Amino acid sequence: MEIFFQQILNGIVIGSVYSLVALGLTLMFGILEIPNFGHGSICMVGAFATFYLTTLAGFNFYLAVLTAMVITGVLGYGIEKIFFKPIRGKGLDAGLIAALALALFVENLGLKVFSEQTRTIPSDTVILNFAGITISSQRLMAVAVSVIAIIILQLFIKRTRLGKAMRATAENPKAASLMGINIDTISTATFVIGSALAGLAGSMIGSMFSVYPTMGGVLIMTAFVIVVLGGLGNIAGAIMGGYILGLAVSLGGGYAGTRMHDAFPFIILVLVMIIKPTGLFGERKREA
């Protein structure tokens, strides 16, 4: 039973950071209908920013993470203005091409700037043991930070004026525009918030595992599985989907072996597409 509960705990940890990665992506898709394949690369930038801020600039870890979120938020602002604003309203194909170009550009730039070397974000890790179940203080911190970020985002979307405007835009962009909502402002805010969340996710993942230029490719594939699993554009679904996938990967890897570890997300995706193509938590419908 200790092994089972250990895998459950590991799944909660993995699910927490998975949810963070997927939240930014589903926010962009739900509000702007943009499948941002460059989202994983932004996570990578956040991870490297945290690494260099802690190792070269001497920042403590938490200040480095907050600074990395600012950096990726500013990066998101630039990406929206340069890559996506010019093609807004020109169809899904244009968005797909722009997103793929962005992902390839950032990843290859990362390889040139950072090299292929794998880094580790330094941290004062303490191993905690409860009744034979172990967890590092770093992983416990990652869960806490992820849960706090999820709660703050939910409160922002539901309670603030900007958040309500984002929800209205997601429901019906044309009606929102006619009601006086500035779609340009909503688009920019969505990219900034989504990219800041990506920076936070990258920092958490880098602190628990490692940092390398191609890490974005794995993260974006996982995030897309979660977004489809939870229902396209469904924020609550992305959160639940992240934890479901985290638990499935942890339990599957623990009992079926590490060779099957990377296959579980895609096995789950295929099953969901067969059983409920709109995702486990449905899909937000738009009016024409």
Per-residue 3-state assignment (H helix, E strand, C coil) for 151-193: HHHHHHHHHCHHHHHHHHHHHCHHHHHHCCCCHHHHHHHHHHH
Quote the pLDDT of residue 135: 83
Could you give the residue ranges of the DSSP H alpha helices within 209-282? 215-230, 235-256, 264-275
CA 232, 234, 235, 238 dihedral sign is: negative
Provide the sign of the torsion angle of the four alpha carbons 136, 138, 142, 144, taken in this order: positive
What is residue 286's predicted lDDT score, i.e. its pLDDT?
Answer: 46
Rounded Cα distance, 115 and 226, in Å: 29
The CA R_g of the chain, rounded to the nearest whole Å, is 19
The Cα–Cα gap between 249 and 208 comes to 16
Residue 21 in contact with residue 149, Cβ under 8 Å? no
pLDDT at position 67: 97
Model pLDDT, residue 99: 83
Would you say 224 and 25 are in contact if contact means Cβ atoms under 8 Å apart? Answer: yes
The structure tokens listed for 93 are 């194909």
What is the mean pLDDT of each successive set of 10 residues along the chain, which is 288 residues long? 82 89 85 81 94 93 94 94 81 79 88 88 78 82 90 91 88 85 90 93 90 89 85 82 87 67 75 79 52
pLDDT for residue 287? 45
Q: How high is the pLDDT of residue 261? A: 64
| pLDDT, position 257 | 62
State both tokens at 153: 């985002």
Specify the DSSP class assigned to residue 87. Answer: G
258 burial type by CB count under 10 A (0-12 exposed, 13-18 middle, 19+ buried): exposed
DSSP state, residue 211: B
- Residue 254's pLDDT is what? 67
Let me know the angle formed at the C-alpha of 66 by 122 and 84, rounded to the nearest 5 degrees: 115
Residue identified by tokens 């990506």 is: 198
Where in 49-167 does DSSP place strands (E)? 127-130, 133-136
Q: What is the pLDDT of residue 102?
A: 86
